[in-house]
Amino acid sequence: MRIGLIGLPNSGKTTIFNALTKQEASVTSYGNAKAEPNVAVVEVVDDRIWHLSEMYKPKKTIYATIEFIDFAGVTEGSAKEGLFSGPAMGLIKMADALAVVVRNFADESGFPPTPIDDMGAVFGELLISDLIIAENRLERIAHAYKRGKKTTALQMEEKILLKIIDHVSENGAIIELDLNKEEEKVVRGFQFFTQKPLMIILNSDEHSFGKNDNLWGEIEKMHRVMEFAGKFEMELSSLDDPEEEDFFMADMGIEESARDRLTRLAYGLLGYISFFTVGSDEVRAWNIHEGGTSLEAAGVIHSDLARGFIRAECFTYDDLVAYGSEKEVRGKGRIRLEGKNYLVEDGNILNIRFNV
Ligand SMILES: Nc1nc2c(ncn2[C@@H]2O[C@H](COP(=O)(O)OP(=O)(O)OP(=O)(O)O)[C@@H](O)[C@H]2O)c(=O)[nH]1
Ligand SMILES: [Mg+2]
């Protein structure tokens, strides 16, 4: 899973990035759009994997991962100036979800926060960028028509693009549009920003953190939101002593690390669940969309497993804990053989039988 951090300049994106990834990327302005983005891959903490690893004592334990991308701020006019089309933005375009960092602290010159306006400004840029992409494509289609290439595929594309332009012009995100499977496939190719799930990170100063209920409520009417005390949490994440970290977190009323909170929100937003594979070689966590089938799960592990899929042996993490060992689970008849249409549930342990 890949999450792109975006926001106005100096909203605290790099600060949040550091808090999430325990890195020490410098928190200064990029100043120019050609700067390299910060990219980091972090493990998704899951106690179940830790526990499975204790039971199976595998050679390798592999957690699911999230990749975070932090890039220069977007400003009003960014989309029109083409700042969204550079190579680094290409990275953000590949993100599964966007997290918009919104400043909720007085900036260096003492300028008070204007989170709702800032959020609107960023969202506005995303819409404009999508609009430009859609309009450019329409022009090309018109061109093709003139050259006599009026294919059904192009006509269908034109129809969808007009629908999108209508919707986006009314400030609607593309993700809200009801598209059928075929349309969605066409639309996905454009990598529109507003087709991605979006969450807001309200980046509050440590004095107001936890006391922004009204603001939170306002934002929640529009988007999923979570609150970070960015600077404070970045400093926390750089502590080497976990006990000290816990102490300061408790002091601020923070129950979970920034990373764990964001992970949970992102899983919910994207509708992701986890399943596991276990054995003496490897214990590993995988992600799949809620409602994904065992065949899709096989494909997540390896395309060969999907191609040669025969059956999925399936039991649950909870049963494993309750009965104490895989042998006991088997003895109790709690290991099921499922076909390719079985809907995988969070916490399932799968063993794909295949033949290629
Ligand atoms: N008080 C306070 N200051 C913060 C917070 N988060 C970031 N800052 C400060 O705001 C300034 C900008 O932070 P960055 O993390 O560099 O912001 P950015 O969004 O990455 O900025 P650009 O990359 O230039 O767009 C720095 O001086 C940070 O120390 C916060 O939660 N509270
Ligand atoms: Mg930055």
pLDDT tens across 136-164, in order?
A: 999 999 999 999 999 999 999 999 999 99
pLDDT at 86: 64
Other beta carbons less than 10 A from residue 355's beta carbon: 8
| Choice from 5, 8, 15 to test ligand 1 binding pocket (greatest atom count within 8 A of CB) | 15
Q: Is 231 in the pocket of ligand 1 (CB under 6 A)?
A: yes
Q: Which pair of structure tokens corresponds to residue 90?
A: 């290409």
Complete domains list, the chain, with CATH: 2-40+66-113+197-270 (3.40.50.300), 124-194 (1.10.150.300), 291-354 (3.10.20.30)
Q: Is residue 111's pLDDT more than 80?
A: yes
The confidence band for 127, taking pLDDT boundaries of 50, 70 and 90, is: very high
**Which atom number of ligand 1 is nearest to the Cα of residue 11?**
19
pTM: 0.88
Q: Is the CB of 103 under 6 A from ligand 1?
A: no
Distance CA 95, CA 322 (A): 38
What's the DSSP call for residue 176?
G
CA distances 145 to 42, 152, 161, Å, are 48, 11, 15
Q: State both tokens at 168.
A: 């986006």
Percent of the chain with pLDDT over 70: 96
- Give the number of whichever ligand sits closest to the CA of residue 106: 1
In this structure, which ligand is nearest to the CA of 233? 1
Q: Residue 44 pLDDT more than 80?
A: yes
What is the distance in A from the centroid of ligand 1 to the CA of 108? 9
Tell whether ligand 1 has an atom less than 6 A from the beta carbon of residue 11: yes
d(CA 168, CA 166): 6
Ligand 1 atom, smallest distance to 7 CA = 19
**Bridge partners, residue 3, by sequence:** 68, 97
**CA-28 nearest atom, ligand 1:** 16
Indicate the SS3 state at residue 306: helix
pLDDT band at 31 (very low <50, low <70, confident <90, very high): very low
Pick from 271, 90, 123, 133: which is nearest to 194 by CA?
Answer: 123
Q: Report the candidate in 353, 347, 338, 299 with the shortest Cα–Cα distance to residue 319.
A: 347
* pLDDT of 93: 81
Percent of the chain at pLDDT > 90 equals 73
Query: For residue 237, what pLDDT band results from cuts at 50, 70 and 90?
Result: confident
Cβ of 155 below 6 Å from ligand 1: no
From the CA of 12, the nearest ligand is 1
Residue 233, number of CB atoms within 10 A of its CB: 27
Residue 37 scores a pLDDT above 90: no
The rounded Å distance from CA 234 to ligand 1 centre is 10
CA distances 172 to 124, 128, 176, 188, 225, Å, are: 10, 11, 7, 17, 18
- Does residue 170 register a pLDDT over 50? yes
Nearest Cα residue to atom 29 of ligand 1: 231
- Phi and psi at residue 233, in whole multiples of 5°? -75, -30
Q: 192: which 2 tokens?
A: 């529109």
Overall average pLDDT of the 100-113 stretch = 92
